[in-house]
Amino acid sequence: MDCAKLFRVKPGSKVKLTDWDPSVTHGFKDKDAAKAELAENVDKLEHLQTMLYAEGRRSLLLVLQGMDTSGKDGTVRHVFSGLNPTGVEVTSFGKPTERELDHDFLWRIHARTPRRGMIGVFNRSHYEDVLVVRVANLQPKAVWSERYDQINDFETMLTENGTTILKCFLHISKDEQRTRLQERLKDPEKNWKFQPGDLAVRKQWDAYQAAYEDALGKCSTPHAPWHIIPANNKWFRNLAVSELLVQTLEAMKCELPKASAEVLKLKVE
Ligand code: AMP
Ligand code: MG
């Protein structure tokens, strides 16, 4: 399955989310059919991460966005399960603090970008500044509409400085969200995830989809592409994201640093 080809948003294109089926599974029948492949990807990732860490020259940033219950947390849990925690840094971005609001919107984001050798995962990100900020009217249009270009410039700068960027929008349907929100209310183990505000946000579903369409279309660039991941099936979502990570890390062709001639001459007595 070539996930880059299947799910990548063409730079400069206009996105219509209703054209993207959130339930497709591209030939995988069910969870069991995908199990072996996911396990294989998790194994590959472990090796690729070690190479990235050992090389120590570049980093990878995975940006995860999606509506409530789209599975941002679940993706992190499943896809990164086999990795060495030392090399992965997950940041969840919530409402900015007063102090953060006293800076430009990218200030808190830049502080959390992965250093050399690391994989950084953003659970929500600077894209909230053209999503919730736009839909909830937290800033006037004159402010948020400038941010698409600012984000593209920021991501270009990161890329030019050694960070490879991979962005995934976890795409679920409104029906699937209802099921998952109901689950959060019903299941005592999941109650804690339910926030009363989630229902108000759900009421603005269409406005959020429109905001996502703009963000995905305007900010999918050759160096920092967006992918629209069909996420109604959790197992397929995990498989697709893991596949993209493997593809991306393989393309980076990380190499182990060579020992210097002096080191090679040393003997351990
Ligand atoms: P959760 O991911 O469920 O923990 O919720 C995090 C909350 O923080 C969501 O309601 C986001 O919309 C909100 N949030 C994240 N970034 C921003 C931002 N830049 N401005 C306002 N709200 C934000
Ligand atoms: Mg939430």
Q: Say if residue 156's pLDDT is above 90.
A: yes
Helix (H) or strand (E) holding 262: helix 261-265
Among the ranges given (7-11, 158-162, 249-253, 258-262), the one the predictor scored with the smallest mean pLDDT? 258-262
Q: What is the pTM of this model?
A: 0.96
Distance 127 CA to ligand 2 centre (A): 16
**Rounded average pLDDT over 104-109:** 98
Distance CA 92, CA 121 (A): 8
pLDDT digits (tens, 9 = 90+) for 195-205: 989 999 999 99
Contact 184, 69 (CB under 8 A): yes
CATH topology for 3-254?
A: Rossmann fold (3.40.50)
Q: Say if residue 234's pLDDT is above 90.
A: yes
Closest ligand 1 atom to residue 126 Cα is: 19
**Rounded average pLDDT over 228-243:** 98
The predicted structure's pLDDT at residue 196:
87
Q: Which ligand is nearest to the CA of 65?
A: 1
Closest ligand 1 atom to residue 136 Cα is: 21
- Tokens 């409530």 correspond to 68
| Positions of E strands within the chain | 59-66, 88-92, 119-123, 163-171, 226-230
Residue nearest to ligand 1 atom 1, measured at CA: 94
Locate the domains of the chain by residue range.
Answer: 3-254
pLDDT digits (tens, 9 = 90+) for 162-180: 999 999 999 999 999 999 9
